[in-house]
Amino acid sequence: MDEAVVETHIPCDLVKVLGVEPQIRSKAVAFTQAFLKKNTEPRPQLDEKSLLSHKAVILEYTRPKKKRINKQQAKGLNAQQKREIKIFHIKSEHQRYELFLPLHNLWKQYIIDLCSGLKPTSSPQSVQQKLLKADFHGAIITVVRSKCPSYVGITGILIQEFKHVFKIITKQDTLKVIPKRNSVFQVEINGFISYIYGNKFEQRASERSAKKFKISGTIDL
């Protein structure tokens, strides 16, 4: 706003209406200054001289600011979300036995490498120890014995291993879900036939590699 507007004379007709007394200029200036001084706070911070005294100002060198690492990792999905988006679900057009045969070949290679060449002379003990920690995705599994008779005889490639079940795809292109409990499975690799007792195998594949197996309890179903 223009200062000149504040300093103009009040027009004569307004004087009667407002009931004020116009003052001469010098008196008005003095009054205004005194009024402002009384009613505003003193502001010492903005005083330039006080700002610059007793202060050290770093002119050129500054520390680079550390970027705060986000300590919270990505939360991941909880089980309900996983079930909703069906990440473990295999679509029906993908449920074909031929599609998984290359996986089986890969698994065979993996096991042969793991047991450092499965020769007929290698001891079953060492092979067994390695198999305990191995992953079985892609193995051809047969149910040999089971408390439930309808599971006996099912053969197929293992496509998913969960904590309590095996998901197997059979030659007839059907996906079978077989609980591990109360069943005995047979895995064959290069002439070594291994029997897996499902009752003792109820861990996730990832957790089993770290687990120590104890010889305890009966292996009766």
Partner 1 sequence: MTYAGLPVVIVSRCSGPKVVEVKMSSKTLLNCETSSLRHPNNRLSAHLEQLPFNYRATVLLPDCGCAPSQLDETLRSFQSFYLVRNLPLYELLDEHLGRGSVCGLSYKTRIDEDNCAFLKANGHLCLSLDKDSYELLGIEGKACKPKSSRYVVSVDLNDRSMAPGRPRYQRLFSGLTSRLPLKMEFLLAPASGDPDALQPLLSRYEWSRHTPEVSCRLLTHLSRPDPLTCDLRSYDPFDLLEWLGAVQADISCDNAADSFLSSLACPHPSAQSSQSSFLLEVRGLLLPQNIMTLVKQLSHFLERPLSPPWAAVTVHGFMDNLHVHERHFYTLVLFPDHAYSLHLATPAS
Given candidates 42, 76, 117, 149, which one binds partner 1 under the rule CB under 8 A?
149
User: What is the SS3 assignment for 143?
Assistant: strand
Closest approach of partner 1 to the CB of residue 186, in Å = 11
Q: Is 153 in the site for partner 1 (CB under 8 A)?
A: yes
**Nearest to 159, CA basis, from 95, 113, 202:** 95
Q: Is 20 in the site for partner 1 (CB under 8 A)?
A: no
User: What is the SS3 assignment for 158?
Assistant: strand
Tokens of 143: 């149910």
Binding range to partner 1, per CB under 8 A, among 3-11, 83-91, 96-104, 150-158: 150-158
Q: Say if CB 215 and CB 132 are below 8 A apart.
A: no
Q: Is 132 in the site for partner 1 (CB under 8 A)?
A: no
Q: Say if CB 143 and CB 179 are below 8 A apart.
A: no
Q: Is 152 in the site for partner 1 (CB under 8 A)?
A: yes
Distance CA 85, CA 93 (A): 18
Contact flags string 89-128 toward partner 1, x per CB under 8 A: ----------------------------------------
Tokens of 52: 């610059």
- Contacts with partner 1, residue ranges (CB under 8 A): 144-147, 149-153, 221
